[in-house]
Amino acid sequence: MRPLHSTETIYRQPPVTAEGPLRDLPVPDLDFVCIPAGEFLMGAGDPPHASTDDGPQARLRMRESPARRVYLDEYWMAKTPVTRRAYQQFLRRSGYAPQPFVRANTTDDGGDRPAYLLAWEDAVAFCLWLSDVTGEKYRLPTEAQWEKAARGVDGRTYPWGDELPVSYRGLPDRLPTTFRAAYPWGEVKPQPDWRCNCADCVGHTTPVDAYPASASPFGCLDMAGNVWEWCADWFDPTYYHNAPPHNPMGPETGLSRVVRGGAYNSDPATVRCAARFYDNPRGAPFFPCGFRVVRRP
């Protein structure tokens, strides 16, 4: 089995810049936002009287505890996930060959939608190649960097605040006392207003800028729903109990890598900023995983 302790040791072929006409293809044009140095609230508290016997949601919430203050140096986070168009530019110009299942979900068809069903190593390959051709330093965000960019410094539940991802138009402030219609309030079907692409409200991925009103406090888009996003860290459900308070980089080794943000088919609890999940980095991911990048100073 290939070692996965270093992102530089995992490739079937190095991500190189192709020769000839391919060198003239455009480099992906990514927008970045500055995440200033400072502390933020990371994680969430234990549910009251939480126990591993309390069902799957309680067990998932225990991964997020304890909530704690974490300090991060300044960094620049991509405003959106890497799109299909951008990933195709990488494949064409670099000559890199991703795993076979990647091709169908990174085509130019729907170019403003996120590239997804990507292996972790194929996401890292993009970062290494972009670093090579631009002279800048790019990588996947750490789990802490991802969460700060998503929720800001006030400990909010979702990138836009604490409101649930869906609300309904057409509901009265007060329900009648007798019901003689299709709905308790009358015949008008309630119309949902979704703040992000989750819970199969659309049924597929959407353009990365489809929900501008749901941007994070720093201006990052699509950090809830649409596609899961790979992080650099190994996953450990108990890592928060011993994680350093300054620039945590995740466990030194592991079996799975962290994914964040949920996807178009995730429930509202899963797209919370603090929700922690993981996936297999060695092959086809279980979740529809994409990624965004961090530019290092």
Which parts of the chain fold into alpha helices (H)?
56-62, 84-94, 120-134, 143-151
54 band by pLDDT with thresholds 50, 70 and 90: low
pTM across the whole model: 0.84
- For position 104, what pLDDT does the model report? 58
Helix orientation angle between 84-94 and 120-134, rounded to the nearest 10 degrees? 70
Q: Is residue 190 part of a domain?
A: no
Q: Is residue 7 part of a domain?
A: no
d(CA 36, CA 158): 20
Examine residue 176 and say whether the peptide bond preceding it is cis (omega within 30 degrees of 0): no
Mean pLDDT of the chain: 83
Q: Is residue 130 part of a domain?
A: yes
- For position 166, what pLDDT does the model report? 85
Contact 130, 27 (CB under 8 A): yes
Q: Is residue 4 part of a domain?
A: no
**Encoded tokens for 34:** 């500055």
CA-based R_g, the chain, Å: 20
Q: Between the ranges 68-77, 91-100, 190-199, where is the mean pLDDT highest?
A: 68-77
Domains: count for the chain? 1
Q: Is residue 1 part of a domain?
A: no
Q: Is residue 153 part of a domain?
A: yes
d(CA 215, CA 231): 19
Work out the percent of the chain whose per-residue pLDDT is above 70.
76
C-alpha distances in angstroms, 14 versus 18, 124, 202?
A: 11, 11, 37
- For position 188, what pLDDT does the model report? 53
Kindly state the average pLDDT of the residues 37-49: 81
**Encoded tokens for 83:** 């799109």
58 band by pLDDT with thresholds 50, 70 and 90: confident
| Count of positions (residues) in the chain | 297
Give the lowest-confidence range in 9-13, 141-145, 148-152, 216-220: 9-13
Q: Is residue 14 part of a domain?
A: no
Model confidence over 117-169: pLDDT tens digits? 899 999 999 999 999 999 999 999 999 999 999 999 999 999 999 999 987 66
- For position 170, what pLDDT does the model report? 56
Residue 153: domain span: 24-162+195-296
**Encoded tokens for 10:** 């995992």
| CATH assignment at residue 37 | 3.90.1580.10
Q: Is residue 185 part of a domain?
A: no
For Cα atoms 270, 276, 278, give the angle at the middle one, nearest 5 degrees.
105
